[in-house]
Amino acid sequence: MAKLLKQKKMEDSAMNNRRTFIKKTISGSLAIGALGFPLDAIGASKTEKITILHTNDVHSQIEPFPSDHKTFPGQGGIAYRASIIEKIRNTEKNVLLLDAGDIFQGTPYFNLFGGEVEFKLMSKLGYDVATLGNHDFDLGIDNLVKQLPNALFSFVNCNYDFSKTALKDKILPYKIIKKGKLKIGIMGVGIELNGLVPDKHFKGIVYQHPIKCVQKYADILKNDEKCHLIICLSHLGNKYDDKEKVSDEWLAQGTRNIDLIIGGHTHTFLEKPISYKNLDDKTVIVNQVGWAGVNMGRIDFSFEKKLKKNSVFGQTVIVDKKSSTNEFFL
Amino acid sequence: MRKAYFSFYSIAFILLLLGCKTFSLSLEQDGLINIKNATADSTILELYEPYKLQIDKQMNVQIGVLENDLLKEKPESNLGNLCAHIALVQTQLYLNSKIDFAVLNYGGLRVPSIAKGNLLTADIYKLMPFDNSLVSIELDGPTTLKVIEKAAAEGGWPVDGIRFKIANGLPKEILINGEPFDLSKNYTIATIDYLANGGDKMDFLREKKQNMTGVFFRDAIIEYIKKQTLNGQTIKAEKDGRLSNE
């Protein structure tokens, strides 16, 4: 594991700022893949691939569920997730590990240690970026500030104004990560805390409308930062009957410049990611993998130079002691 | 240009349909994903072991015996009845004042069931992981009715000290301590601070004065069960038709 982390750091430091011609639209080498040619056969110099692994609503589920658990017998567990991630890192050059919030609350690990264990273990797993869910405020802003030094990864949120709180400058609107030749912009967006979290626990945080804020930073990541891939970590929820309530469905269709939305909050077990068309009629992929770390999402993007196209496939990895289910989708 | 793209998508999609299985397999063979026979990462296990030991020491403590299986259901359930009853009697005890009825939110009970047998501290942490405290609030008749209407509109929330029928999401034939509900009377209810602070869209409770017990509901449940055990009692709960759909 330590070796892995070291290797990851080396990759990060070796990243270059050279401007490339990598552009993307959706699909493309998928067709090649469909004919059975491995994507790598195209040639490493011409393609760049990024593997995005993600969790949401893990809710302090450190240990696997017990083997007699009614819904998820023997499933989940951060140590099992770790070994799966390690295997993927051993075969993939560019891996991002992300979380869409509600890291806290649900087991005595949180009740007794206030989130210390969750942050320390996620750091050890090499998480890159996470966003905040409502339950991450369950012990208040001060607790979050106290636990942040245990997190060796970044937190992003662009629609909470933290400027009058102790979280000021500790939560970024977005984070840019370079992997290989790719520049990836990752932003975060959160649900209205009013009514979900006791007032005293989020005092001073000003909630702003998600769509407006996300669009502002998506435009910055696209036009100013020239990111090849733009990801939004969202704790808004997948979709609601109440169409007035902002969801990932709304976010995907009501914005431009976002490629991928990693969702949370509604504990939605998507069998496969959902494709939407955004305001520019371009594809946005939305994924969410239930809760408690029972599943881990995986989405791979391939970028090709000059051909200006990319492929995408994704799947849900069931974190289980014995077996796995791999799913393919467009 | 767009048209060209469109036809390209179509071809790609058809190829994909034809070759889906092959592609998926070739990916697996390429070793992009191979999580079969996943084992635990020992570094991670070692890292959380000291925390686990502390937790197990505290959690694997038997506090009582549960006589029947408890289930969470709507409109009424034995698990909900037990929890609401504990909220009522413990709030009464901590504040040393009379409570008319107790109401909890359905979503606040975090397990679908508890199996009969030995009750451990861990079971109660799973049932109620949140640090919600018990409070009482004195409400005028119309606000009390809003609370009851909310419990009915949600399809039946856990309650104690009150009975009513639910017809088309509305409460009727409301009895509080056996007496018909009186709109001109004030009632004192026991609940958790999450609801009293306006959680679950109970904004109308926000400005009401709370009498705080300062005791987490979870700790109150543990205390109640321990006391029963000390008195040689087991824990059991039944449905009694306090809430029904019409």
Q: Identify whether A38 is part of a domain.
A: no
Complex-level ipTM? 0.81
Q: Which pair of tokens denotes residue B44?
A: 């991670």
Q: What is the pLDDT of residue A310?
A: 57
Q: What is the DSSP string of A197-255?
A: B-GGGSTTPEE--HHHHHHHHHHIIIIIS--SEEEEEE-S-S--SSTTS--HHHHHHS-
Q: Identify whether A248 is part of a domain.
A: yes
What's the domain count of chain A? 1
**pTM given for the model:** 0.79
Distance CA A38, CA A32 (A): 8
Q: Which residue of A has its CA nearest to B12?
A: A31
**Which residues of chain B have a CB within 8 Å of the CB of A36?**
19, 22-23, 26
Regarding predicted confidence, which is higher, A110 or B15? A110
Q: Which of A111, A298, A323 sits opposite B125 (nearest CB)?
A: A111
Distance CA B87, CA B23 (A): 57
Q: What is the pLDDT of residue A20?
A: 30
Q: Identify whether A35 is part of a domain.
A: no
Q: Which domain holds residue A150?
A: 52-325
Q: What is the pLDDT of residue A172?
A: 97
Q: What is the pLDDT of residue A232?
A: 98
Count CA atoms within 13 Å of residue B226 on its CB side. 12
Q: What is the pLDDT of residue B35?
A: 29
Q: What is the pLDDT of residue B243?
A: 98
Q: What is the pLDDT of residue A224?
A: 97
Closest CA to B112 of A72, A64, A295, A63: A72
pLDDT digits (tens, 9 = 90+) for B117-148: 999 999 999 999 989 999 999 999 999 999 99
Q: What is the pLDDT of residue B92?
A: 98
Q: Which of B31, B59, B197 sits opposite A108 (nearest CB)?
A: B59
Record: fold of B62-245: 5'-nucleotidase;  domain 2 (3.90.780)
pLDDT digits (tens, 9 = 90+) for A194-247: 988 888 999 999 999 999 999 999 999 999 999 999 999 999 999 999 989 999
Residue type (1 letter), A65: F
DSSP run (H or E) holding B62: strand B62-66
- Sequence-separated (6 or more) residues with CB below 8 Å from residue A12: A177, A178
Alpha helices of chain A — where are they, by DSSP H?
Answer: 2-13, 29-34, 78-91, 108-113, 116-125, 140-147, 210-219, 248-253
Cβ distance of B38 and A298 shorter than 8 Å: no
* Contact by Cβ (8 Å): B104, B84: yes
> Is the Cβ of B125 closer than 8 Å to some Cβ of chain A?
yes
Write down the mean pLDDT value for chain B: 87
CATH number at residue A259: 3.60.21.10
Q: Which residue of A has its CA nearest to B122?
A: A108
Q: Identify whether A218 is part of a domain.
A: yes
Q: What is the pLDDT of residue B97?
A: 95
Q: Identify whether A4 is part of a domain.
A: no
Q: How far is A126 from chain B (nearest CA, A)?
A: 12
> Is the Cβ of B194 closer than 8 Å to some Cβ of chain A?
yes
**B 31-90 near A (Cβ less than 8 A):** 31-45, 47-48, 51-52, 54-55, 58-59
**Which residues of chain A have a CB within 8 Å of the CB of B31?**
91
Mean per-residue pLDDT for A98-108? 96
**Burial bucket for residue B2 (CB in 10 Å: 0-12, 13-18, 19+):** exposed
Q: How far is A115 from chain B (nearest CA, A)?
A: 12
- The low-confidence residues of chain B, meaning pLDDT below 70, are 1-37
- Sequence-separated (6 or more) residues with CB below 8 Å from residue A170: A145, A148, A155, A162
- Please, what is the Cα angle at A18 between A17 and A20, to 5 degrees? 120
Q: What is the pLDDT of residue A150?
A: 98
Regarding predicted confidence, which is higher, B245 or A28? B245
> Is the Cβ of B18 closer than 8 Å to some Cβ of chain A?
yes
Q: Identify whether A9 is part of a domain.
A: no
**Which residues of chain A have a CB within 8 Å of the CB of B60?**
none
Question: Which of the four pLDDT bands, split at 50, 70 and 90, describes residue A301?
Answer: confident
**B 99-118 near A (Cβ less than 8 A):** 110, 112-113
> Is the Cβ of B203 closer than 8 Å to some Cβ of chain A?
yes
**A 41-60 near B (Cβ less than 8 A):** 51
Write down the mean pLDDT value for chain A: 83
Mean per-residue pLDDT for A79-104? 94
